[in-house]
Every structure is written in structure tokens, then in C-alpha cells.
């Protein structure tokens, strides 16, 4: 008759902490791999969050102002809707890369977003990660434009 081995299934706190860190790193690596895969993702998942972080790296501001500033900087060629900005800001706030505080100056209550230290690191890392993808995307657009219009 075979005897089954019984293992202690109780993890120590140190093991639990290491396992949580491992899962977090795996999640981050999967996120990085996903962001690297396609030209489309550069724009839909990479460019707007990156550019929002850039705007917030210049100064703290609210969601409407972020959209307006992107519009100004791109000479009106790209004005993200606040319907896309605010869910992104909420997600970033939940991830602790930005901090939102309610401001009541000029009797106008609004949430002002500030880049956190983690957000500054995220901005720097995302900028490096997406640089090649943005360059590749620009080349693709040049080729498509040339093929279609020249």
C-alpha cells in the first residue's frame, strides 16, 4: 500500500510576500510584452497614457485641462475626449502613479492631478519602452501615406 505524502500547505508570511511580489512582476512583464506587440496598441494603450503623464510632468492640472493642453500642443489635430481622459486618470490614480486632490479655488470644485514619485518612474520607463514602437508607427504611417497619396 502506497502512503501519501502530506505537505504543510501553510505558507509563511515571507513566502506569501515573495509570492505576491512574483505575481506582481509577472503581471508587469505581461503588460510590457502586450504593449510591445502592435502599432495599434501604441496609440490606443500607450500614447494617450504616456502623453497624459507627460502633461502632468509639466504641471499638476485637471482632466479638462489635460485634454485642452494636448489639443494645444498638437495644434488641434488631437484633442482626446474627457470621456477617455477621466477613466484613464481614475485608473492611474488607483495605480498610485498620480494623486488627485479636490481643489475649491475660485469656487470651482475640481480634481487636480499630480504625478507621484511612482508616476515619474512610470513615465520615464514608458517613454523608453515605447520610443521604438512610436518610431516604428511613424514609419508605417509614412509608408501608408506615400503609397496612398503620392
* 46-68 residue pLDDT tens: 689 999 999 999 999 999 999 99
C-alpha cell, 48: 494617450
**Residue 16: pLDDT over 80:** yes
Dist CA 103 CA 63 (whole Å)? 13
Q: pTM of the full predicted structure?
A: 0.67
The greatest distance separating any two alpha carbons of the chain, rounded to the nearest whole angstrom, comes to 82
pLDDT averaged over the chain?
A: 84
Contacts of 48 (CB under 8 A, 6+ apart): 80, 84, 88
Dist CA 24 CA 28 (whole Å)? 6
Band of the pLDDT at 29, cuts 50, 70, 90?
confident
Orientation angle between helical segments 117-149 and 48-58, nearest 10 degrees = 130
CATH of domain 40-149: 1.10.10.10
CA 120 to chain centre: 11
Q: Using the Cα atoms of residue 116, residue 88, residue 100 and residue 27 in order, give the sign of their dihedral.
A: negative
Amino acid at each position: 500500500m502506497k502512503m501519501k505524502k502530506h505537505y504543510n500547505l501553510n505558507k509563511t508570511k515571507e513566502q506569501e510576500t515573495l509570492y505576491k511580489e512574483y505575481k506582481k512582476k509577472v503581471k508587469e512583464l505581461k503588460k510590457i510584452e502586450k504593449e510591445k506587440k502592435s502599432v495599434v496598441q501604441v496609440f490606443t494603450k500607450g500614447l494617450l497614457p504616456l502623453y497624459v503623464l507627460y502633461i502632468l510632468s509639466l504641471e499638476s492640472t485637471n482632466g479638462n485641462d489635460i485634454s485642452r493642453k494636448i489639443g494645444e500642443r498638437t495644434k488641434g489635430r488631437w484633442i482626446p475626449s474627457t470621456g477617455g481622459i477621466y477613466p484613464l486618470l481614475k485608473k492611474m490614480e488607483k495605480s498610485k502613479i498620480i494623486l488627485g486632490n479636490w481643489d475649491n479655488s475660485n469656487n470651482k470644485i475640481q480634481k487636480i492631478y499630480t504625478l507621484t514619485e511612482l508616476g515619474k518612474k512610470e513615465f520615464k520607463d514608458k517613454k523608453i519602452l515605447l520610443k521604438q514602437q512610436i518610431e516604428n508607427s511613424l514609419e508605417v504611417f509614412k509608408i501608408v501615406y506615400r503609397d496612398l497619396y503620392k
